[in-house]
Amino acid sequence: MGERLRSFIRSAAIALWFAVLTFPLMVVKVNTVDNVVIWRWANMGWVALGAFVLSYLWRYLEAKRAASMGAGQSRFSLALQNPKTLVALAALGLAFALLFPLVASEYRVNTIINAYIYIVLGLGLNIVVGLAGLLDLGYVAFYAVGAYSYALLNHHYGLGFWAALPIGAGLGAFFGILLGIPVLRLRGDYLAIVTLGFGEIIRLILENWNEFSFGPSGIANIDNPTLFGAQLSRSNGILFIYYLMVGFVALTVFVVRRLENSRLGRSWLALREDETACQAMGIDKMKTKLAAFALGATWAGMMGVVFAAKTSFINPASFTFLESALILAIVVLGGMGSVLGVIVASLVLVLLPEQLRAFAEYRMLIFGASMVLIMVFRPQGLISAPKKSYALDLEEERAR
């Protein structure tokens, strides 16, 4: 009871301070026509009440979060670790994805396609940041490499989508290794600065090398994907790309889950937790880092090809640092190393701004405030990755 009283008193003090601070703006209004001052005391009361409620709610949630941190994993987290629950969620998600275009408008289908692209990009970056612990702020560069590889091959040589898809993936992996080699010795902030610079170098090359990339004007009239060599109409093409992205999401989830439980995935986790101990245990640090950069960039290259085919037009403005920041926010808010968390965060961060278009003036404010609240009260992300534990059978080891 004493703690509640202290919280009440502190919230009341904050409300009073905030009301006094905003007094000149919210209460005093000068009418320059009639030369009179209008006193809006009701505004001061509303400001104080709002500040008190928000402050008290903030303290309540902080206390609840502190109590939950010492209580271990919640029932929700334990339920998500059950394989049967995951299979049921996957089945429901797949059924929803397959039926969605039948009941939704073309605009909604296009929006969901964008969300699916960010799911694959988030899962690719999750390999680098979530599993291997390598902070990459230039991930959009690999996305741009894939998009421009298809656009340029299609423009100059008439190469189709299906032929360009493995080329985009291969070029993404090549540039991932190209980035990984000089940053093998870097960690933390230094690694982030170098990767950020790499992303900006790629963007500036695409923007200024007019003979190669057509500069800021971009490349238009990029061919859409074909179905067994046949061109599709606009509506059928959007539907085809939608189901194509459903397949890409399913394939990416399967591959990432298999990588997590592989020897390479365990090496990434060891590298993330303690790089020095990882090297002391005999893990090749160079190969492990390069594998993370290459595999993460492969998915970005493929999604770049899909993006170019979907929009039929690309330019350097589509591959700015804000795209890298959004993909990184998906990984962090979803939960580092959590596949399900990345999927949920992608849907939230891509679809939420679209749903808030009715609040055009305030939607980014609402969006930013929501992200701040999530990171304060759920620092482990929306759905945290379960902690892995390995049991050692002593009798089996003795038999060996």
User: Going along the chain, which residue ranges are E strands?
Assistant: 28-31, 36-39, 219-220, 313-314
Secondary structure letter of residue 385 according to DSSP: P
Q: Give residue 398's pLDDT.
A: 60
Which SS3 state, helix, strand or coil, does residue 361 take? coil
Sequence-ordered list of residues with C-beta below 8 angstroms from that of 59, at least 6 positions apart, any chain: 7, 10, 11
Residue 31 burial by Cβ neighbours in a 10 Å radius (0-12, 13-18, 19+):
exposed
CB 264 within 8 A of CB 291: yes
* Per-residue CA distances from 179 to 107, 173, 256, 290 (Å): 37, 10, 21, 9
Please give the mean pLDDT across all residues of the chain. Answer: 82
* pLDDT of 153: 92
CA distance 118 to 237: 20
* Burial status of residue 217 (CB atoms within 10 A of its CB: 0-12, 13-18, 19 or more): exposed
Distance CA 200, CA 108 (A): 32
d(CA 81, CA 55): 35
Report in angstroms the alpha-carbon separations of 43 from 12, 29, 36, 39, 48. 17, 11, 18, 9, 9
Domains defined for the chain, CATH in brackets = 2-64 (no CATH), 81-377 (1.10.3470)
**Each residue's pLDDT tens digit, 225-275:** 877 767 777 678 888 899 999 999 999 999 998 888 888 888 888 888 887
Q: Are 334 and 343 in contact (CB under 8 A)?
A: yes
Contact 166, 111 (CB under 8 A): no
Q: Which helix (H) or strand (E) holds 208?
A: helix 188-208
Distance from C-alpha of 48 to C-alpha of 134, rounded to nearest angstrom:
45
Q: Do the beta carbons of residue 384 and residue 338 sit within 8 Å?
A: yes
In the predicted model, residues of the chain with pLDDT beneath 70 are 1-2, 65-83, 229, 234, 358-361, 363-364, 385-400
Place of tokens 């009260």: 377
Report long-range pairs for 77-84 (Cβ below 8 Å, ≥24 apart): 77/383, 77/384, 77/386, 80/340, 80/383, 80/386, 81/386
3-class SS at 30?
strand
Residue 215 to residues 150, 151, 164, 206: CA-CA distances in angstroms? Answer: 16, 13, 21, 6
How many CB atoms are closer than 10 A to CB 80? Answer: 19
Q: Do 316 and 216 touch, CB atoms closer than 8 A? A: yes
- Residue 145's pLDDT is 93
Return the SS3 of 220. strand
